[in-house]
Amino acid sequence: DQQVKQNSPSLSVQEGRISILNCDYTNSMFDYFLWYKKYPAEGPTFLISISSIKDKNEDGRFTVFLNKSAKHLSLHIVPSQPGDSAVYFCAASGISGTYKYIFGTGTRLKVLA
């Protein structure tokens, strides 16, 4: 039972354009969401998070949008840079009972120079 889904295994974007990575979840008890970036041979590194009391959180070039009614979140990267090429994972957690962070399967982003 995949509670957190990233349906696009890969995405290619031109440098300078917007990258949009999507994530869907099924468990309505999730109320905290995170995005991680992973380079080969390294551990995932935290990018940005959002609590369910918000619908948007911004940090520099990275913005996460949360649509609770659709159980959908997205990560926007503007402008995209070649160094952003990596695998991006979304994760979800729940304060009220589910103590674990559940990760999606990841989306491989390639930013073309």
Partner 1 sequence: DSGVTQTPKHLITATGQRVTLRCSPRSGDLSVYWYQQSLDQGLQFLIQYYNGEERAKGNILERFSAQQFPDLHSELNLSSLELGDSALYFCASSVAINTGELFFGEGSRLTVL
The residues of the shown chain that bind partner 1, judged by CB under 8 A, are 6, 32, 34, 36, 41-46, 49, 87, 89, 91, 93-95, 98-106
Query: 10 Å Cβ neighbour count for 31?
Result: 18
Q: Which is nearer to partner 1, 43 or 83 (CB)?
A: 43
Asked whether the beta carbons of 65 and 52 are under 8 A apart, the reply is: no
Q: Which is nearer to partner 1, 41 or 113 (CB)?
A: 41
Q: Which is nearer to partner 1, 29 or 78 (CB)?
A: 29
Residue with tokens 């913005």: 63
CB of 95 to partner 1, least distance (A): 6
Asked whether the beta carbons of 7 and 24 are under 8 A apart, the reply is: yes
CB of 87 to partner 1, least distance (A): 8
Residues paired with residue 91 on neighbouring β-strands, in sequence order = 34, 103
